[in-house]
Structure 1
Amino acid sequence: MKLRLLTTATMPRDNTPIMRRLAATIILTFPLFAFAQKRTTTVVVPSKPSDVTSKTPVPQMEKGSVEGRTYKNASIGLELTVADGLEFQTPELKGTPGTLPLLVTVTAWHQEGLLSPRKVTAFYADALAYYPEGQRSTDAYMAKAVRGNRQTGYEPMEENLKTSFGGMSFARTDFRGPLYEAVLVKACDAQAFVFIFASSNKDTVDALVAATSLKLDPVRSGCRSTSSGNK
């Protein structure tokens, strides 16, 4: 099973401001089910924060580290402990070489069969300064996720639910495709935090969410427990 975030960049030939097209694609491959699931969200973002008057900082993202079932990343103020039986893979930074990373991501899964991961928890943080002002809210980010999932055959079952996760208010949308999937999103001051839980059915996904522990430092993460799910 693989999770891969791919980025591509395009630049104009004239003197107009340089623009990059970030194509963030998460590919989940389950050999036993004989299918490859692709996630594609494409937005046009500038080569630097969207405007000089923006108050959204650009986070100095680092990969973080894995200790058993716990992933720690002080650069974004996050500590994530996944359900028992899941194993973390290597954290990754994604973005254009020579610039600040746009994404940090890590995946954990439980492999029940010889080849088939049947329980998956994935996380990524996305720098919001590279998005237009109107696309930096929790609702806007979730709408992007819904559009991307629909393009890959995943239909929303329950949309824009408000759920408490790690003492914070997150937006949650559940999808049904080859697997059942729950996507939790929270847009904070500098980055969007996105969690993806996938398995064969809703009960198992709900159990994955319930067994996951999240700690967000309010200063480093830019998230506040008293804030709503909509930034």
Structure 2
Amino acid sequence: MLIIDCHCHAGEGDGFTGPWDTRAPLKKFIQWSQEAGIRKTVIFPAFHTDYARANALVANITNRYPDRFFGFAFLHAERDKGKIGAMVKTAVEQYGFKGLKVHRHDARISREICEAARQYRIPVLYDPTGEVSTVELIAAEYPDVNFIIPHLSSFADDWRAQIAFIDVLARHANVYTDTSGVRRFDVLETAYKRVGAAKILFGTDGPWLHPAVELAKIDALKLPLRERAMVLGGNILKLLTLEPVRK
């Protein structure tokens, strides 16, 4: 069964406030992933003050190991304002990246980002840090853009946000979630029972969370074989294999 991790950071950041903006080393994580049976991984930078530079560094990794990694470009909606289109063009046409990553910790997602994703027909992995209302807005405004909302919307284990997000996940065909960092198994199980396997993607939030631990949650769901294959790789592969429109 093909297993694809849809959520992993790579490279170095320059913030030095924690691992998330200092260093995301892959050597040990790749070993863990291989031992867990994960064959491919979506990677994007750690937090950085210059995402153009950080994306280029990730491209060096994806170019060296094209059979192992898919690349996503990280964008800052405010700091990169006015440059988003050019950055996405470079990411897709030069680097071969398959999607975008945006984090509310930086800034709320913008129309500029959504329109670039629409233009190139690529998904956006957007972490709203529990701000579920924004997901409702972008899903409705851009029904032709696929949004992957990690952690059931909150890595901080915000139960209220995660429960509210399940309604959004069920209501919008273009909204997906990943399982990375979800600690409340009952909420993950509720999401599966409510929306089905087709809206859920396996992710680890590596390299800081162990892939075998994250996979154990999928095992605990006791999915039928077909649905397990969808969650572990089929769903993300479907989102990534839309042929990007080159502009």
- How does the TM-score come out when normalised to structure 1? 0.27
Of Structure 1 and Structure 2, the greater strand share is in 1
Q: Using CA pairs below 8 Å that are at least 6 residues apart, which structure has the higher relative contact order?
A: 2
TM (normalized to structure 2)?
0.25
- The structure with more helix, counted as a fraction of residues: 2
